[in-house]
Amino acid sequence: MAKLELQELTAMTVGDLMIESEKVAHVQMNNPLEHALLVLVKSGYSVIPVLDPTYRLKGMISKTAILNEVLGMERFEMEKLSVIKVSETMLTDVPVLKKDDLFLTALKAVVNHAFLCVLDEEGYFEGILTRRAILKQMNRYLHEQIHFNSAIDKTNV
């Protein structure tokens, strides 16, 4: 693989690094919490996007929020899982990215978020950008720099 230059890294866009929508586990607003918990447990993820039937982003739902919602005084009231809808429990204030946002914008965003949803101009969901994808590129860049610099040091001895 060719050495990754700084200009190439910083010219990368969210679109180059994101996971496409077809591969992202998600639920819909009208789903009961029971369904959301099933998708979360089966997929292994702790938080996933909530979409409407036309694929517009509406929020995020997490295992923790669901368990908090059904936590009673002395026990988990699991019977509530089939009554409460995802729309009543989801987080709605979620930061987003656009496909043409650059690497440094994405890097800043993943400092505080494990992933961000990627939307088009009309709010339609296009995929997600994960912290993993950003760290993978940073890791590659830094290791190649260190390797390159130590090779130069050796030739100067």
Region 41-80 residues binding ligand 2BA, contact defined as CB under 6 A: 43-48
Q: What share of the chain is helix, strand, coil (3-state, %, to 5)?
A: 50, 25, 30
27 binds ligand 2BA (CB under 6 A): no
Residue 139 CB contacts under 8 Å (≥ 6 apart), including other chains: none
Region at 127 (left for phi over 0; alpha for psi -120 to 50; beta for the rest): left
- Tell whether the torsion through CA atoms of 126, 21, 30 and 59 is positive or negative: negative
**Minimum distance of ligand 2BA from residue 130's CB (angstroms):** 3
* Segment interacting with ligand 2BA, rule: CB under 6 A, options 22-30, 70-78, 88-96, 138-146: 22-30
# residues near ligand 2BA by CB under 6 A: 16
Q: Name the one range near ligand 2BA by CB under 6 A: 2-10, 28-36, 95-103, 125-133.
A: 125-133
24 contributes a contact to ligand 2BA by CB under 6 A: yes
| 46 close to 40: Cβ distance less than 8 angstroms | yes
Q: List residues near ligand 2BA by CB under 6 A.
A: 19, 23-25, 43-48, 114-115, 128, 130-132
